[in-house]
């Protein structure tokens, strides 16, 4: 609902249409949820997003389920070290899903197991949460999917479900996905490069390669090159990258860049060399490809 009315008068502009579908990770989630609203939702009260309140670690129960939740947390925060056969780059899940997946406007996982299954236009079908997770393995992590029912997949889902305690099933949290920003009519990559060198290179490196630690982890993740997300990733799309950067980067100073600067720097780094995604031709089979898709 909250997306629908904000953009309604401009809904036919293709640029805005694409914006209306980004920033909200479920892509067509906004519009679909609006059109499929139940009578409860149309009362306008029950549809309010729920504020994020990450649970206290001490609430992780003892026993097997607690072990799985803790294992899930380790897998998402040390993904490349823990799952080398499934990760083809230098990232962790929490390189983008900040603060263990509990940060608003940084792709939080709070409440997410309760909103799946969800229809997604990119593969034009209803996806269960495991498929959504594997999408990030194959694209954002440039790696290989986990098997359904594997201890690793189940641990990740257990962790996300624990994060979601207290959020009613089917309800979005406040700050799901990435907070949208006004699209820049003409992003300027030359200006973006200047911003990158001043605001980003001190951590992510002048060559975008980030900085690794000797223990196999990283201090700063790569933004492009072989150790980065592939071209099929959500972060390779301009609107998504700009919205992430606008509210989250430079790390700890999210909000300092203007919308235009966020677009300029995103346009600069997403277009640097990065791994290809072999199955990209299968995306958006119904022809509803967003305007900022890279292929
Ligand atoms: C390079 C950044 C990046 C990394 C690394 C990453 N993701 Fe994502 N993830 C995204 C983006 C961007 C989206 C939203 C995509 C879109 O707009 O369709 C997303 C969406 C999701 C969603 C759906 C959220 C929602 O609101 O519907 C889940 C679940 C998820 N990711 C899990 C994971 C897991 C698990 C990992 C590690 C295996 C991971 N992600 C790694 C960028 C990333
Ligand atoms: C103070 C250091 C620092 C600065 C400056 C900084 N970043 Fe980051 N950035 C990080 C860290 C650390 C992460 C990963 C967070 C984590 O692992 O918890 C990250 C993650 C990212 C990611 C998602 C992960 C990936 O590697 O793709 C993007 C995109 C990104 N930063 C872009 C930028 C941009 C653009 C700028 C400049 C406007 C910038 N950052 C400035 C430290 C920084």
- Write down the mean pLDDT value for the chain: 86
pTM for the full predicted model: 0.89
Give the ligand 2 atom nearest the CA of 269: 35
At CA 208, angle to CA 203 and CA 210, rounded to 5?
45
Half-sphere exposure of 77 (CA within 13 A, CB side): 13
pLDDT of residue 215: 84
pLDDT of residue 45: 54
- Name the residue with the closest Cα to ligand 1, atom 25: 25
pLDDT over 90 (residue 102): yes
Q: Is 1.10.760.10 the CATH classification of the domain at 57-163? A: yes
Q: CATH 1.10.760.10 region(s) of the chain?
A: 57-163, 179-282
Residue 32 structure tokens: 């679909």
Write out the E strands in the chain. Answer: 118-120, 125-127, 211-212, 218-220
Q: Right CATH number for 179-282 from 2.70.170.10, 1.10.760.10, 1.20.120.530, 1.10.569.10?
A: 1.10.760.10
Question: What average pLDDT does this structure show over 103-121?
Answer: 96
Distances (CA, A) of 211 to 63, 65, 178, 225: 37, 35, 25, 13
- Name the residue with the closest Cα to ligand 1, atom 32: 133
- Name the residue with the closest Cα to ligand 1, atom 29: 133
Q: Any residues with CB less than 8 A from the CB of 43 and at least 6 apart, and which? A: none
Q: Residues of the chain with pLDDT > 70: what percent? A: 84
For ligand 1, the distance from its centroid to the CA atom of residue 5, given in whole angstroms, is: 26
For ligand 2, the distance from its centroid to the CA atom of residue 252, given in whole angstroms, is: 9
pLDDT over 80 (residue 280): yes
Give the ligand 1 atom nearest the CA of 160: 29
pLDDT of residue 21: 38
pLDDT of residue 30: 33
């Amino acid at each position: 609902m909250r997306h629908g009315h904000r953009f309604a008068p401009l809904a036919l502009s293709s640029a805005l249409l694409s914006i209306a579908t980004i920033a909200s990770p479920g892509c067509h989630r906004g519009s679909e949820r609006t059109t499929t609203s139940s009578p409860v939702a149309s009362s306008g009260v029950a549809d309010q997003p729920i504020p994020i309140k990450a649970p206290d670690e001490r609430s992780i129960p003892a026993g097997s389920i607690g072990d799985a939740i803790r294992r899930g947390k380790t897998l998402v925060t040390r993904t490349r070290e823990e799952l080398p056969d499934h990760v083809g780059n230098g990232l962790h899940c929490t390189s983008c899903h900040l603060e263990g997946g509990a940060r608003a406007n940084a792709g939080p996982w709070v409440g997410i197991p309760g909103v799946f299954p969800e229809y997604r236009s990119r593969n034009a079908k209803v996806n269960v949460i495991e498929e959504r997770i594997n999408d990030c393995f194959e694209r954002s992590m440039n790696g290989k999917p986990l098997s359904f029912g594997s201890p690793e997949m189940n641990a990740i889902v257990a962790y996300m479900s624990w994060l979601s305690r207290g959020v009613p099933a089917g309800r979005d949290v406040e700050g799901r996905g990435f907070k949208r920003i006004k699209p820049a009519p003409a992003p300027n990559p030359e200006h973006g490069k200047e911003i990158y060198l001043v605001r980003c290179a001190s951590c992510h490196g002048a060559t975008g390669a980030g900085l690794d630690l000797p223990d196999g982890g990283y201090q700063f993740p790569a933004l492009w090159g072989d150790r980065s997300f592939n071209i099929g990733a959500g972060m390779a799309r301009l609107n998504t990258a700009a919205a992430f950067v606008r509210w989250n980067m430079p790390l700890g100073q999210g909000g300092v860049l203007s919308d235009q600067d966020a677009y300029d720097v995103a346009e600069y780094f997403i277009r640097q060399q990065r791994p290809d995604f072999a199955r990209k031709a299968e995306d958006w089979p119904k022809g509803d490809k967003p305007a900022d898709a890279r292929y």
